[in-house]
């Protein structure tokens, strides 16, 4: 029996899916239900299901990034979307990220059964985890997650205590998995990337002669001027003061 998790913020939908779909007849069993993306992902990590049927328009959630997170971190899990969100480009992106079916609410029972059969069929034919190269959907998912992580880091790099864990939470994956993705996609560690983003921002601020180097250090998330100067020289090849003189 394939193990299924249902994720939707509408409890009526969850109850309907649980009771109306003939899960046993389809070779499946519902092992968990969740009412938001965050608890859904926590449940996925704990229960390690084979199939996830989820909405993507839930409060405080980036649906595409959540789908990318599932595909990238758990490539063998089969996902289908059940949503009221009618947007062709969004649906296309979801399918690019490995979603099996993109179903619109209200969906009839035959559509649901066909989606479940397709996911079960894919599971039946999956190679063993050690076989074969990474598929294009997994690669696309990893690329999507890295872009989302870098955008978040760029926006928050001036915060002194920005951590790998905070960024990983934003893109719905574990710290270990995000660290692996960043290294693979950029060739740099989280801390190297964060340092580079902070130094890039510092260069912009150093162009303003009214800002002291201490002010620039504080505005770009460095704990003190000495740490700022060391990091700046390592990345830019000169000290902040030398860089500012080059601008004159």
Dump pLDDT digits (tens) for 38-92: 889 899 999 999 999 999 888 778 889 999 999 999 999 999 999 988 888 989 9
Residue 165 inside a domain? The answer is no
**In the predicted model, what is the mean pLDDT of the chain?**
92
Residue 138 lies in a domain: no
- Counting residues of the chain whose pLDDT is more than 90, the rounded percentage is 80
Give the separation between CA 185 and CA 248, rounded to whole angstroms: 37
**Co-location of 220 and 119 in the same domain:** no
pLDDT tops 60 at residue 130: no
Whether residue 145 is contained in a domain is answered as: no
Is 169 part of any domain? no
pLDDT above 70 coverage of the chain, percent: 97
Give 117's strand partners.
Answer: none
The whole-angstrom separation of Cα 133 and Cα 165 is: 29
Q: How many domains does the chain have?
A: 2
* Domain stop point among 103, 125, 147: 125
Structural domain includes residue 240: yes
Tell me the CATH number at 225. 1.10.10.60
Residue 176 above 80 pLDDT?
Answer: yes
The predicted structure's pLDDT at residue 129: 63
CA distances for 241 relative to 111, 198, 207, angstroms? 65, 16, 11
Give DSSP secondary structure letters for 176-193.
HHHHHHHHHHHSS-HHHH
CATH number for the domain harbouring residue 85: 3.40.50.2300
pLDDT exceeds cutoff 70 at 9? yes
Asked whether residue 40 falls in the same domain as residue 116, the answer is yes
| Domain interval for residue 211 | 193-247
Whether residues 120 and 8 share a domain: the answer is yes
Do 116 and 205 share a domain, yes or no? no
């Amino acid at each position: 029996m394939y193990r299924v998790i249902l994720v939707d913020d509408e409890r009526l939908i969850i109850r309907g899916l649980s009771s109306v779909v003939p899960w046993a007849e389809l070779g499946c069993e519902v092992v968990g239900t969740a009412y938001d993306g965050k608890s859904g992902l926590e449940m996925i990590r704990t229960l390690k299901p084979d199939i996830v049927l989820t909405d993507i328009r839930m409060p405080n959630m980036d649906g595409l990034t959540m789908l990318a997170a599932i595909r990238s971190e758990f490539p063998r899990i089969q996902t289908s979307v059940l949503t009221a969100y009618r947007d062709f480009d969004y649906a296309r992106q979801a399918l690019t990220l490995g979603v099996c079916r993109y179903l619109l609410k209200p969906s009839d029972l035959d559509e649901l059964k066909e989606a479940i059969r397709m996911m079960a069929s894919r599971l039946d034919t999956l190679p063993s985890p050690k076989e074969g190269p990474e598929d294009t959907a997994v690669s696309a998912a990893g690329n999507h997650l890295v872009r989302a992580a870098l955008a978040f880091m760029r926006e928050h790099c001036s915060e002194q205590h920005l951590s790998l864990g905070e960024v990983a939470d934003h893109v719905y994956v574990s710290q270990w998995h995000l660290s692996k993705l960043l290294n693979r996609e950029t060739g740099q560690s989280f801390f190297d990337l964060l340092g580079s983003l902070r130094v890039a921002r510092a260069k912009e601020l150093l162009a303003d002669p009214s800002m002291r180097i201490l002010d620039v250090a504080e505005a770009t998330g460095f704990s003190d001027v000495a740490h700022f100067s060391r990091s700046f020289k390592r990345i830019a090849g000169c000290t902040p003061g030398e860089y500012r003189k080059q601008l004159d």
